[in-house]
Homo-oligomer: A and B are copies of this chain.
Amino acid sequence: MMPAPFLLYLGHSADPLAIKTSRGVAMFRPEDCVGEFRHDDCPLTLGLKRMSMAEAVAAGARTLILGIAGAGGKLGAELVADTATALEAGLNVASGLHQRLRDEPRLVALAEARGLKLFDVRDPPPGLAVGKGYERAGNRLLTIGTDCSVGKMVSSLALVRGLRERGVAADFRATGQTGVMIAGEGVAVDAVVADFISGAIEQLSPARSDGGWDVIEGQGSLFHPSFAGVSLGLLHGAQPSALVLCDEPGRAHMRGIPGRALPDLAECLEANLAAARLTSPDVQAVGICLNTSNLAPDEGRRLCAATADSLGLPCTDPVAFGVEPIVEALCPSPSRRSTTASR
């Protein structure tokens, strides 16, 4: 995979959701990030030092991460130009866009001339097979969402950390460009050929028998008219025993679709449970993760408590308040277990 340290690209982005890949890498691999590249009109920052491509190289950066994500994943003229500048300065370039770096002859030529590499993180693994839905061993938790970009990846990573802190084996199974860049492995499931969606996830998360958990990153939403097919195939391929629903309270409309309301949490959970039963008849909802970063902390806590009450499930903000309530529900701590056993 792409060599660290990284320069993170923000470009001209004004939409915080559009830079989620760069933000994810900054958040989960901070030790590998030396700076951020943004144009003068970019109002966003990751809190890293702003650098030109040449300054980043001087600071030790080895790879520019094109960590921006628009629907459709296009590589426009501006992005090609900035990528060329990065290569000329001596940086490798990694991209998670649908449109591949290697399909731009100018970039390929530049990289070859300078002995640099282009990483198209969205390339599917070779030799995928169609999913079968046969029962397989192991504990699998899938994060699902009311919408795109509501915190499924962040919640998944937090749950892996929480399980490990409890001494439970757990592995993050990345299914999106950001997750793959963070984990260094995985499959960008939205980029596989449609027939192989569920098969790709069966391959990503095979049977395991060590008592540990695969925590599989969900994508999109069953309620998103652009991407629900991906979400459903992922759900079937994951064959999850546990679902965690992710949401960002207060979002005005479904990502990229002005005017389309988000589903109700209970409705969304029920639709996912019903669909998941096709390959995992005993699937259960085990928690709710809210991204309350737009709320005051008090308000966030109140909303989590109210949501937990109304849905009868542990509810938390994984970043602000941690994932302890959900981990406890999944794997009760020894003291609780003995309490339960003595009832």
- Tell me if A257 and B194 are in contact (CB < 8 A): no
Is A232 interfacial (CB-CB < 8 Å)?
Answer: yes
Q: Is the CB of A193 within 8 A of B226?
A: no
Whose C-beta in chain B lies nearest to the C-beta of A131? B226
The segment from A184-192, A210-218, A320-328 that touches chain B is A184-192
The answer to whether A236 touches B228 (Cβ under 8 A) is yes
Tell me which residues across on chain B come within 8 A of A189, comparing CB atoms: 194
Segment from A1-9, A83-91, A195-203 that makes contact with B:
A195-203
Q: Which of B133, B191, B230 contacts A229 (CB 8 A)?
A: B230
A119 at the interface (CB under 8 A from B): no
Q: List 19 other contacts, CB 8 Å, given A132-B225, A133-B257, A192-B193.
A: A72-B129, A72-B130, A98-B193, A130-B227, A131-B225, A132-B226, A189-B194, A190-B195, A191-B195, A192-B194, A193-B193, A194-B233, A198-B229, A223-B278, A225-B278, A228-B275, A229-B230, A229-B231, A229-B236
A-B contact pairs, 16 of them (CB 8 A): A71-B130, A72-B195, A131-B225, A132-B226, A133-B260, A191-B195, A193-B193, A193-B194, A195-B230, A198-B226, A198-B228, A222-B232, A225-B278, A228-B233, A229-B233, A229-B236
A279 to B225, CA, bound (A): 7
Contact with B along A253-286 (1 / 0, CB 8 A): 0001100100000000001001100110000000
Which of A198, A225, A256 gathers the greatest number of chain B CB atoms within 10 Å? A225
Asked if A73 is at the interface of the complex by the 8 Å CB criterion, the answer is yes
How far is it, in angstroms, between the C-alpha of A191 and the C-alpha of B194 when the chains are bound? 6
A234 interface residue per 8 A CB criterion:
yes
- A263 CB to nearest chain B CB (Å): 9
Cross-chain contact A194 with B230 (CB below 8 angstroms) = yes
Q: Which chain B residues lie closer than 8 Å to A231 at the CB level?
A: 229
Whether A197 lies near B131 (C-beta < 8 A) is no
User: Known contacts A133-B257, A227-B130; is A98 also within 8 Å of B195 by CB?
Assistant: yes
CB-CB < 8 A to A195: which residues of B? 72-73, 98, 190-191, 226-227, 230
**CA–CA, A197 to B231, complex, Å?**
12
Residues of B within 8 A of A230 (CB): 194-195, 197, 229, 233
Q: Which 10 residue pairs are nearest across A and B when measured between Cβ atoms?
A: A229-B233, A133-B225, A197-B229, A190-B195, A130-B226, A229-B229, A232-B232, A229-B232, A194-B230, A225-B236
- Give the residues in chain B near A194, CB-CB below 8 Å: 189-194, 197, 229-230, 233
Return the chain B residue nearest A129 by Cβ.
B72
Q: Specify which chain B residues have a CB less than 8 angstroms from the CB of A229 in the assembled complex.
A: 194, 197-198, 229-234, 236
Interface centre among A191, A222, A229, A257 (most CB of B within 10 A): A229
The contact string, 1 if C-beta is below 8 Å from chain B, for chain A 123-164, is: 000000111111000000000000000000000000000000
Query: Which of B133, B222, B260 touches A226 (beta carbons < 8 Å)?
Result: B133
Give chain B nearest CB distance to A262 CB in angstroms. 12
Which residues on the B side are within 8 Å of A222 (C-beta)? 232
